[in-house]
Amino acid sequence: MANFFNRLRLSPPRILVCGFALIIVLGAVLLSQPFASKDGSALRYIDAIFTATSATCVTGLVVVDTGTYFSVTGQLILLMLIQMGGLGFMTMATLIALMLGKRISLRERMVLQEAMGQQNMEGIVRLIRQVIVFSVTIEAVGALLFTIRWAFDMPLGQAAYFGLFHAVSFFNNAGFDVFGEYRSLTPYVDDPFVNMVSMALIILGGIGFVVMKEVWEHRKFGKKLSLHSKVVLAMTGFLILIGALVIFTFEFTNTLEPLNWRGKILASLFQSVTPRTAGANTLDLAELRQASQFFLIILMFIGAGPGSTAGGIKITTLATLFGCVKAMSRGKQDIVLFHHRLAPDRVFKAVTVTMMGLGLVIIVAMVLSTTEDAAFIRILFETVSAFGTVGLSTGLTPDLSDIGRILLSVTMFAGRLGPLTLAYALGPGTEKELYRHPEGKLIIA
């Protein structure tokens, strides 16, 4: 597949867009076949496109319940799409090429660099190998732990299948589950084992493969962590802690009230971890207070780490914006994080990504507010969930009109690839400017 796109001489962003689009179309064709459903019915193609997009973009929003509608074959197709979408089609293509002993061309390395969000191509193939090893190992351990736990609740074969499906889904931050009836993990709201394993998989998938690699080398070889890894780890811990405190405070006398103290703490932590950007939930999100729902919207918009299986504007973008505010409020020219000065282009990119993401969310939410009969907070929730490739839902998605499903499909696609990558792919080629305009003065209040 990668060689085919290379022959077309497409730019790396366009190769990524075309690759993901092709996977979605092929996935939709498979999901629309009678063998993909339990009752042998054919899923409407627009619903198949929505589901394939949600799986490939590792989101988790569904218009039909995964556990009750799809057959085992259909669920395995979803699992394949989730794995390909989480790792990226170029990573999977590189894996196949390496297994066949083929050489990775310079152009393919450039596409891998774009896909992994790296600033240079040095060691990119070695990084891909490590990504695959990390992914398979973590998913296997997660599947084993889930199997052991669920073997107490169901037959061993079913427990093993459930363990594999949810380990892959949660590590890739997809949010799909096969428990049925749109329940997600609500039956395990106060189960410490299921909660901790799930959160560990989600966090590992969300911090990014580069950070996992550096943490591993830091512990094993004593190598220093880069600025990127320090920012991702610090912001991840900060957002989880703040999120848990906010959810605990707002929901203490609401959805948390029936739970004991262990359940309250676990539920608060879990609902703080999953909006960035896993899509599983242990509380009924439709029953949350609007303040809690709005706070989850903020977390979903932020997302997790770059080069990971997560979406959103990314926590490094948020850290850059925080640094910009801090520097400006103190009258300083340089933005400094962990004693490192950020280059101006990083700041420009952070502002651009944020504004483009915000613009997309605003436009889609406004259109949906005219096509759908629902409260605006629920519409905004589903929109940001799609953009952040989260998959959390207040229950609105299955009731969306066809226009709403198309809009959210496009939003999930843009959120997974990133608005900036999509703009590069769809826009005209860039040319180096041969001159600079004169500097002007603009009053900013």
Residue 328 has pLDDT above 80, yes or no: yes
Residue 96 has pLDDT above 90, yes or no: no
Confirm whether 375 is domain-assigned: yes
Instruction: Tell whether the torsion through CA atoms of 180, 201, 255 and 398 is positive or negative.
Output: negative
Q: What would the mean pLDDT of 132-137 be, rounded to a whole number?
A: 87
- Percent pLDDT > 70 in the chain is 85
Residue 2 has pLDDT above 50, yes or no: no
Confirm whether 433 is domain-assigned: no
Residue 33 has pLDDT above 60, yes or no: yes
**Which segment, 348-352, 382-386, 417-421, 427-431, is predicted with the most confidence on average?**
382-386
Confirm whether 440 is domain-assigned: no
Residue 309 has pLDDT above 80, yes or no: no
Q: What is the pLDDT of residues 154-211, one digit of tens each?
A: 999 999 999 999 999 999 888 899 998 888 899 999 999 999 999 999 999 888 888 8
Structural domain for 390, as ranges = 2-426
Give residue 79's pLDDT: 94
Confirm whether 438 is domain-assigned: no
Give residue 437's pLDDT: 76
Confirm whether 164 is domain-assigned: yes
Confirm whether 434 is domain-assigned: no
Residue 430 has pLDDT above 70, yes or no: no
Q: What would the mean pLDDT of 72-82 be, rounded to a whole number?
A: 94
- Percent pLDDT > 90 in the chain is 56
In this predicted structure, which of 9-23, 113-127, 305-319 has the lowest mean pLDDT?
113-127
- Whose structure tokens read 């915000």? 358
Confirm whether 39 is domain-assigned: yes
Contacts of 411 (CB under 8 A, 6+ apart): 360, 361, 364, 383, 386, 387
- Total domains in the chain come to 1
Confirm whether 439 is domain-assigned: no
Q: How many CB atoms lie within 10 A of CB 2?
A: 21
Contacts of 33 (CB under 8 A, 6+ apart): 42
The whole-angstrom separation of Cα 10 and Cα 13 is: 8
Give residue 296's pLDDT: 95
Give residue 206's pLDDT: 87
